[in-house]
Structure 1
Amino acid sequence: MGAGLAGLHTARLLAEQGFDVLVADRRRTLSTGVRTTGIFVRRTLDDFDLPDHLLGPAVREVVLYPPSRRAPVRLSSERDEYRVADMPGVYAHARRMAEAAGARIALGVRYAGSATGVVRLEGADPVVARFVVGADGARSTVARGLGLDVNRHLLIGAELVHPTASGTTVPTFHCVLDPRVAPGYLAWVIDDGRNAHVGVAGYPDAMRAGVRHLLEEFAARAPGRATPAGPVERRGGPIPVGGVLRRLACPAGLLVGDAAGAVSPLTAGGLDPCLRMSELAATVAGDYLRTGDQRVLRRYDGKALRARFRGRLLLRRLFAGVRSPAVAEAAVAALRTRAGRAAAARILFGDGSFPTVPIPDPEPRAS
């Protein structure tokens, strides 16, 4: 359930193992309802085969701003750190790959529950299914239907995307730490010289003005913004930042992507972990479906994954506590020191945005 990147990647891997896979999504077209900025980090670009023509120019420059926007911290990498993807194109590519592997795709279909091996669907006839993969987002209906854990710590994000005149800007990632605009997180402009993404995100209980109002306010004076060269697209939605959920699997199914909380608690980046955890999920699900041995599901252990990034969860709690402009100013001032710049570079340019997910050796292919 869910034809985002996590769902389509998992479906492809299961279909390649010989299983009969159906992917259902409530959207009628995968080109709408995009919720992510589409930032792929260097580690993902190195480890996964993504179509180069769907990726924008590389970004090496990051600028961190305090609420006053004065004396920002500028960081530069010698390597290509980020590339922003054409996400509708990425979804279309992932769909083609899943279908080429044998998976079937049904759009305009909503999950309505499952029992005794039958999945009820709004918009389609019920289907007999041995296993359900919940890839249906941060507020997963499948998670509740299967009695698995659900995300409880969420940011709400909103973003404007518009094309920019080619060659008029240096690809740069601008980040603003200002709790008046993005309480508990940050506001951003990432302009790769092709498109500019202007967004805010924060804890909903602190966004008293509403996320849309805060986005409009920020966009009016966002740093590094380029003049739009075409239509503006709006994106937005919930972002789970509580870490990987503890109970991810049961004999009836498992969770992947945002539904599993597979998002870096600190950076809120979810594309890298969704691909890594999807590979683990497909391996575990395949082994379980072949053997029927419920002990196999223990490999997909959210508790073990959470233990691998306790530091990021601690930093998330500290970040959430930055609720005044004065504290934010002091935090950015600390980043101007040698130690602060090194710490910021490690977070922004390092390889540790999400722990490496161990992939068990697969069992023989299904007959």
Structure 2
Amino acid sequence: MLVVGAGLAGLHTARRLALGGLSVLLVDRRSSLATGIRTTGIFVRRTLDDFDLPGRLLGPGVREVLIYPPSRRTPVRLVSDRDEYRVADMPGVYAHARAAAEAAGVRVRLGSRYIGVAAGLVRFAGADPVAARFVIGADGARSRVARDLGLDVNRRFIVGAELVHPIAPTGRAPVFHCVLDPRVAPGYLGWVIDDGRHAHVGVAGSPAAMRSGLRHLLDSFAADAPGRAAPTGPIERRGGPIPVGGVLRRLACPAGLLVGDAAGDVSPLTAGGLDPCLRMSDLAAAVTAEFLRTGDEGVLRGYDGGALRARFRGRLLLRRAFAGIRSPLLAEAAVAFLHSPAGQAAAARILFGDGSFPDVSVHRPTPLRA
């Protein structure tokens, strides 16, 4: 079988399938997994509790979040008694995940650009086609595999961009700075966070507004962003589309299925995708293995996005409300509300709660008796 895309979802899914005894080829158009990274690499507590991520690749725990209005005055301060976030060295995470996948038996082929699939034959640019019984699309928010398999595609996005640069150690506990300002991040927010060695400064928002000057907005924000630290080395730029329409309804067919951003596995409200990517990849691997073992197309109903979407109604409504904050005055009022006891409770539930993504374990296929 074939997995297209060697991001976190593709690597994790391929490894789980290989551990189950399947023959897996994983391909990616990049020649190096250290390039083309599109995520800040913020892992939430729930992920850190449930998945085995190497501590050496994670920055110190983040317990404090500051939410600023456009004026940058009097931020809302939220403090947890637990480590809520840790920022990962994503090139290191990808290298670790690749090594783990290869140790499980996955064959990894980089520098292979997917062209299309038809009748079980997958074509690549400048390379021989490959026969595959089942194709898993882990090829990002604008998945070509999804279109070729006739599955659903993402239609609602925000667009993000980020600067990453080395910083001098401060010895202070890191803080997650969030700025709600439609002038620099229309429909979302700007952020500053560090992993003890690198600072991440980013903005994201509606594609139409960001397209008019995304780099300019990012550079302007980075010049006076709260919590910024002076670079001590080269600056790396990251960016790309982030699907925020929730998990897609039709995720699987007898020819393949989708994982990660291709499946819309991103929280509509917070735009966090690393936790759902791992959880949905586990489910996808279990469903795939069972389907290939039995040939029973009914098994694919265990990977039903429609059932999961019911859990997203509240987040999708909040996403629409968030996107509707178009003026600085409205953003100031929203942050003023967060200063109230009710506002602080709501913000803490969103930022520190355990419900960042629906529980997918209840959707796992029941093993069939021989």
* TM-score after normalising by structure 1: 0.97
What one-letter code is carried by the residue in structure 1 that aligns with 2:364?
Answer: P
Q: What is the aligned partner in structure 1 of residue 295 from structure 2? A: 292
Taking the aligned partners of 1:255 and 1:210, their CA distance within structure 2 comes to 32
1:321 and 2:318 correspond: no
> For 1:247-296, what per-residue CA distance to the aligned partner results, in whole angstroms no more than 9, with x for missing partners?
10011000000000000000000000000000000000110011111111
1:263 and 2:266 correspond: yes
Taking the aligned partners of 1:77 and 1:184, their CA distance within structure 2 comes to 26
Taking the aligned partners of 1:139 and 1:35, their CA distance within structure 2 comes to 13
Contact kept? 1:283, 1:362, Cα under 8 Å: no
CA shift for structure 1 position 170: 3.1
Q: What is the aligned partner in structure 1 of residue 91 from structure 2? A: 88
Q: What is the aligned partner in structure 2 of residue 360 from structure 1? A: 364
Q: What is the aligned partner in structure 2 of residue 178 from structure 1? A: 181
Taking the aligned partners of 2:173 and 2:208, their CA distance within structure 1 comes to 36
Task: Specify whether residues 263 and 37 from structure 1 end up closer, same or farther in structure 2 by C-alpha distance, changes over 3 A only.
Answer: same
Q: What is the aligned partner in structure 1 of residue 207 from structure 2? A: 204
Q: What is the aligned partner in structure 1 of residue 22 from structure 2? A: 19
1:347 and 2:362 correspond: no
Taking the aligned partners of 1:86 and 1:103, their CA distance within structure 2 comes to 23
Report SS of the residue matched to 1:234.
strand
Taking the aligned partners of 1:89 and 1:123, their CA distance within structure 2 comes to 29
Taking the aligned partners of 1:350 and 1:292, their CA distance within structure 2 comes to 39
What one-letter code is carried by the residue in structure 2 that aligns with 1:50?
Answer: L
Taking the aligned partners of 1:147 and 1:228, their CA distance within structure 2 comes to 46
Taking the aligned partners of 1:251 and 1:169, their CA distance within structure 2 comes to 52
Q: What is the aligned partner in structure 2 of residue 166 from structure 1? A: 169
Q: What is the aligned partner in structure 2 of residue 148 from structure 1? A: 151
Taking the aligned partners of 1:75 and 1:227, their CA distance within structure 2 comes to 25
CA shift for structure 1 position 168: 4.9
Q: Larger deviation: 119-128 or 94-103?
A: 119-128
Contact kept? 1:61, 1:173, Cα under 8 Å: yes
Q: 1:268-283 alignment to 2 at 5 Å?
A: 268-283=271-286
Taking the aligned partners of 1:311 and 1:258, their CA distance within structure 2 comes to 20
What one-letter code is carried by the residue in structure 2 that aligns with 1:274?
Answer: C
What one-letter code is carried by the residue in structure 2 that aligns with 1:147?
Answer: G
Contact kept? 2:199, 2:229, Cα under 8 Å: yes
Taking the aligned partners of 1:154 and 1:123, their CA distance within structure 2 comes to 31
1:226 and 2:229 correspond: yes
2:65 to 62, 67, 80: 62
Taking the aligned partners of 1:96 and 1:191, their CA distance within structure 2 comes to 26
Q: 1:129-148 alignment to 2 at 5 Å?
A: 129-148=132-151
Contact kept? 2:160, 2:204, Cα under 8 Å: yes
1:46 and 2:62 correspond: no
2:196 to 183, 193, 205: 193
Task: Specify whether residues 208 and 142 from structure 1 end up closer, same or farther in structure 2 by C-alpha distance, changes over 3 A only.
Answer: closer
Q: What is the aligned partner in structure 1 of residue 216 from structure 2? A: 213
> For 1:303-324, what per-residue CA distance to the aligned partner results, in whole angstroms no more than 9, with x for missing partners?
0011112111110011111111
CA shift for structure 1 position 189: 0.3
Taking the aligned partners of 2:108 and 2:127, their CA distance within structure 1 comes to 12
Contact kept? 1:57, 1:194, Cα under 8 Å: no
Taking the aligned partners of 1:167 and 1:13, their CA distance within structure 2 comes to 39
CA shift for structure 1 position 209: 3.6
What one-letter code is carried by the residue in structure 1 that aligns with 2:201?
Answer: V
Q: What is the aligned partner in structure 2 of residue 337 from structure 1? A: 340
Taking the aligned partners of 2:343 and 2:36, their CA distance within structure 1 comes to 38
CA shift for structure 1 position 228: 1.1
Contact kept? 2:88, 2:195, Cα under 8 Å: no
Structure 1 portions without partners, runs of 5+:
none
Taking the aligned partners of 1:362 and 1:85, their CA distance within structure 2 comes to 34
Contact kept? 1:172, 1:192, Cα under 8 Å: no
Contact kept? 2:158, 2:244, Cα under 8 Å: yes
Task: Specify whether residues 98 and 50 from structure 1 end up closer, same or farther in structure 2 by C-alpha distance, changes over 3 A only.
Answer: same
Report SS of the residue matched to 1:226.
coil
What one-letter code is carried by the residue in structure 2 that aligns with 1:360?
Answer: R
Taking the aligned partners of 1:303 and 1:208, their CA distance within structure 2 comes to 31
Taking the aligned partners of 2:99 and 2:82, their CA distance within structure 1 comes to 31
What one-letter code is carried by the residue in structure 2 that aligns with 1:167?
Answer: T
Structure 2 portions without partners, runs of 5+:
none
1:128 and 2:122 correspond: no
What one-letter code is carried by the residue in structure 1 that aligns with 2:7?
Answer: G
